[in-house]
Amino acid sequence: MAGKLDPPYLRIAAEIRRRIVDGELASGEHVPSTRQIAAEWGVALATATKALTVLRQQGLVCARPRSGTIVASPEPARGGARFRPTATGGPELSIERIVEAAIHIADREGLGALSMRGVAAQLGVAAMSPYRYVTSKDELIVMMSDAVFAESDLPDPPPPGWRARVEVEARALWACYRRHPWLAQLSPPTRPLPLPNLVRHANWVLAAFDGLGLDPATTRNLLVLVYSFVRGLAANLGQGSRAEAAAAGQAADRDHDALAPALAALTASGSYPALAKVTHVLSQRDDHLDLNEIFDLGVRVLLDGVAAGILHESRPGTAPVRAAGSL
């Protein structure tokens, strides 16, 4: 049951869930639309949409094309998830199967190749069947994102010390982006999606800094800093799919070869001695960029900076740190 301190969309979802459980809304009946929710609870349409999304993720409601959102059939599918058979009597569908198929497409071909029709084809069902569970591609992408962030198993209990805990989270995020490069195309850390499993990750980092005497604004800024570092580096993985990530690496090699004469001319001009020194040494080693090495270096430097410049670990008795506006 949602508490008074929960966000409005969770409280709305809890109330509609109560109506379903208590039988006030029966299977197949329409639930309040986004406009009706907005009017009844006095919230924005975006908040109403979030509430319905939570109910869909829980399998309590589903979307009916050109009709609206209805209470889902209560029959459980294998594994306990709700499902409703397709109108054609084909394979049983569920939100979980739709999301899994969509992730497979995005991993293989990128978000640009994702469509509701393509998901239906992947599942071998009628083109409109996924719309019984998901109203749009945008809603599907939100569900996909929450599902992939759920893949990371954060250790319980967490490792001792703030630094080890933050590093565990950074590496878990990096592994997630490596598996699903399309994630880097979604909302930046300054405008996070309201995803339960992303919130779980954020809470892990915030808990790491809890009790260290940091100003709340500084704690928030450090969270954004960690996420921005990982997501920013992940943007170099490609345009959104594993295949594209590999192709991007090959294209980068071709571009480097094409630009090599121009770069050689610049370094030989004598105007850029530091660049000339580095490129000469690296060329002798046949060195290539390794994003995993850069990630390891970045995590170490970032956490060293937090320890030395923000937390003052080595200075017992230091006064609590105030908000770091430069972050």
Give the pLDDT band of residue 27 (cuts 50, 70, 90).
confident
- Predicted pLDDT of residue 239: 53
Instruction: Say whether pLDDT at 318 is over 90.
Output: no
Average pLDDT over residues 147-169: 90
Query: For the segment 60-84, what is each residue's pLDDT rounded down to a tens digit?
Result: 888 765 567 888 875 433 333 333 4
- Lowest mean pLDDT, pick from 48-57, 161-170, 310-319: 310-319
Query: For the segment 250-269, what is each residue's pLDDT rounded down to a tens digit?
Result: 444 444 556 667 777 777 77
- Predicted pLDDT of residue 132: 85
Name, of 170-174, 199-203, 267-271, 272-276, the range with top average pLDDT. 170-174
Give the pLDDT band of residue 296 (cuts 50, 70, 90).
very high
Name, of 8-12, 56-60, 66-70, the range with top average pLDDT. 8-12
Give the pLDDT band of residue 47 (cuts 50, 70, 90).
confident
Beta-sheet strands, E only, within the chain: 61-64, 68-71, 84-85, 92-93
* Local structure of residue 44 (DSSP, 8 states): -
Average pLDDT over residues 158-186: 92
Instruction: Say whether pLDDT at 243 is over 70.
Output: no
- Predicted pLDDT of residue 104: 92
- Predicted pLDDT of residue 259: 62
Q: Measured between alpha carbons, how far is residue 322 from residues 119, 121, 167, 315 in Å?
A: 49, 55, 23, 16
- Lowest mean pLDDT, pick from 226-235, 237-246, 286-295: 237-246
Query: For the segment 90-139, what is each residue's pLDDT rounded down to a tens digit?
Result: 447 888 899 999 999 999 888 889 999 999 988 888 888 888 888 889 88
Average pLDDT over residues 21-40: 87
* Local structure of residue 1 (DSSP, 8 states): -
Q: Measured between alpha carbons, how far is residue 223 from residues 116, 205, 230, 313 in Å?
A: 34, 7, 11, 18
- Name residue 61's beta-bridge partners: 71
Instruction: Say whether pLDDT at 175 is over 70.
Output: yes
In the chain, what percentage of residues exceed pLDDT 70? 76
Q: In this structure, are residues 205 and 223 in contact, taking their beta carbons and an 8 Å threshold?
A: yes
Instruction: Say whether pLDDT at 145 is over 60.
Output: yes
Mean model confidence pLDDT for the chain: 78
- Predicted pLDDT of residue 21: 81
> In terms of C-beta density within 10 A (0-12 exposed, 13-18 middle, 19 or more buried), how is residue 258 classed?
exposed
Residue partners of 6: CB distance under 8 A and separation at least 6: 14
- Predicted pLDDT of residue 282: 65
Give the pLDDT band of residue 320 (cuts 50, 70, 90).
very low
